[in-house]
Amino acid sequence: MAISTQTKLRTHHKKPRSIAAVIATVFMACAVLFMGGTAAQAHDQLVGTDPQQDATVETAPDHVTLTYSGEITQVQNGNKVIVTDSHGKTVSTGDPTVNGREVTQKIKSDATDETYKVAWRVVSQDGHPIEGAFNFTVGKGGSGDASSSSAGASNEASPNASSGSSDSEASNSGVPLWVSGVIGAIIALGIVAIVALLLARNRARKNDEQNGRK
């Protein structure tokens, strides 16, 4: 009888241990997703441009200036700003100049009246590349001051500065909705697992007490 009781006790205690292992795995996965989401939120964002997005200016500027939410990391060949006309011809010249949160790119003096696209790729202060694009137009009827204090958010960059960039401001670089949904589902599963563990331990304790009385 003693051997049989010990065998039952071992059987009852296996389930709580296995549930505890599942809970540990669930919360480790949740922690990894949370850290990934936090890193995504930490990327700098484009907050201002001169000329501003979709603005029309009377004369072609000799440079464009992009302002970000944090200081841009100066990395060799890591920061690019390419200005092209409606035919795809590059009108920017030289490398961009980084000064804290501002990145300035010179434009050739022969820029004519038309719409230009500014595609940019920079390394944010957390070390991750981000990218985006915006348009402005040179022509009659434009305003003299085309600077912008708010240019919206930016995307985490792909290797090419111009690939994947939209003609408008890039979308928010925060945590995607599907990631939030996955994290929520994992947390819910973790709560269910904890409840199951507590119930299993309670059943095991009651069985131990009953076996002890026999």
> What is the predicted pLDDT for the residue at 22?
61
Based on DSSP, count helices (H) and strands (E) in the chain, helices before strands: 2, 9
Q: Which of 33-42, 62-71, 77-86, 118-127 has the lowest mean pLDDT?
A: 33-42
Q: What DSSP character marks residue 140?
A: T
pLDDT digits 0-9 by tens, 129-184: 999 999 999 998 655 544 444 454 455 554 444 444 444 343 344 455 566 677 77
Q: Which residues contact 129 (CB under 8 A, 6 or more apart)?
A: 78, 121, 122, 123, 156, 157
In sequence order, the 6+-apart residues with CB closer than 8 A to the CB of 198 are none
Q: Would you state the pLDDT for residue 205?
A: 80
Report the pLDDT value the prediction gives residue 161, as an integer from 0 to 100: 44
Which residue(s) pair with 138 in the sheet?
57
Q: Give the residue with greater pLDDT, 113 vs 192.
A: 113
Cβ pair 23, 200 in contact under 8 A: no
Bond from prior residue into 51 cis (ω within 30 degrees of 0) = yes
